[in-house]
Structure 1
Amino acid sequence: MGKLYVIGIGPGGIEHMSIRAKEAIEESEIVVGYTRYIEFIKPLLDGKKVFSTGMMGEEERCKEALRLCKDSTVAVISTGDSGIYGMAGLILELRKDEEVEVIPGITASSAAGSIVGAPLMHDSCNISLSDLMTPYELIKKRVKLAAEGDFVISLYNPRSKGRSEYLKENLDSIREYRTGDTPVALVKNALRDGQEVTVSTLDTFDYEKADMLSIVIIGNSQSYIKDGYFVTPRGYKL
């Protein structure tokens, strides 16, 4: 019987991948993933079979990976962490008796946070603004409650052509619980080619710059900018 590795490859570059993730890919005979993400690990794929699909092919990829791993060692990859908006959950939901190992990676909020400073030093949460899997009313409720609870909030999938107003609507909701000078970081392509970084405030944030390759981090009531770094205090008595 084979084995299935469910691997988070991090932001996309091999240099940001964990040693264990790289080893698991090297051990695998077959690699399964979204076509664009397969390109990120191309140097590791010599001599391996590859099964890839385009956007919205997640269920097909997971079913094929589970089928293939009955007789082979297979890696199914996600960017970021496979257990945070990745393939781990779907694999485990579909799994019957296959041997599965989940290998973590750097998620987008951690990658973006490292670029702008230390915005995630206190309690924080990740919320996706994509309503493909979650009703929009529930998304708005989660954002509102996170803001009320004074969490640092990382917004994944913040803005697309079909959801051009969701980001503005939810930042307006957060404004009910934050001052206008609350730091906001917009990071596009965190830790990979094409990286763009903008640190502003709730009052000066430019919605037009956000897209599906971006993540938006909104500070809590204690967050501030120090010497260009976005910092959320942990609470140490300095």
Structure 2
Amino acid sequence: MIRASNLSFSYGPHRVLHEINLVQNPGRVLGLVGPNGSGKSTLIRNLGGSLKPEAGQVSLGEKDLADYSSQELARTVSMVVQERDSEPGLTVAQMVMLGRTPHLGLFARPGAQDQEIVLASLESVGAVHLAQRFFAELSGGEKQRVLIARALAQSTPYILLDEPTNHLDIRHQHELLRLVRASGRETVIVLHDLNLAARYCDDVALLDRGRLVAQGSADEILSPDYLEPVYSIGVHRLAFQGTTHLIFEPRDEESTA
């Protein structure tokens, strides 16, 4: 379980997160959604330890995040953020092998098991054929899949993903999110596409201007009552083959209909 309690964060004088209380329940995928600038990326970085809360706390299981050593945290949480790693001299296989670093002793070299984990991680994201390519030469979508493979190779119980479907085509968006659901990891994922959130997230936390508007099941939160005031757009829900689909209608078009 990942829990944020009264979490606040500022960039200089600008308060970005305001007293967030949030829970990722075991065995369930939690999606963070909200308009641009609502604080989703900042929140997931606080949950993963790359940013330190100004106030409040984050806990993983029964332990406060602040009590983890850097190596222990790297064995516990893997993250994929929006920025692209450059690493111009590394091949894809070497990039993914970096995910094994927290599990290696000082000066230890990767062994056969590490090689197998790297190969399995590349296979899971459909990127084995890229193994000997230089990472810096890949397209945006290819880089994204490699970074996700690296997070999987890290073999952590928690995985945090900030817009992992960026630069991916529709097929790979769905393949990736199916993979995340099947991985068995405790997962928090930032998504802009609310239909992807409806399909692949068990629970959803809706943010707006740095505040948590609501958290609950995806079916509960991804509804016109919650979404229309936050996004300022008309929302219609349809059900097709047991899956919720959202249709959006700009308010100005609604008023002239």
Structure with more contact order per residue of length (Cα contacts < 8 Å, sep ≥ 6): 2
Higher helix share: 2
Higher strand share: 2
Same fold (TM over 0.5): no
TM-score, structure 1 normalization: 0.30
TM-score, structure 2 normalization: 0.28
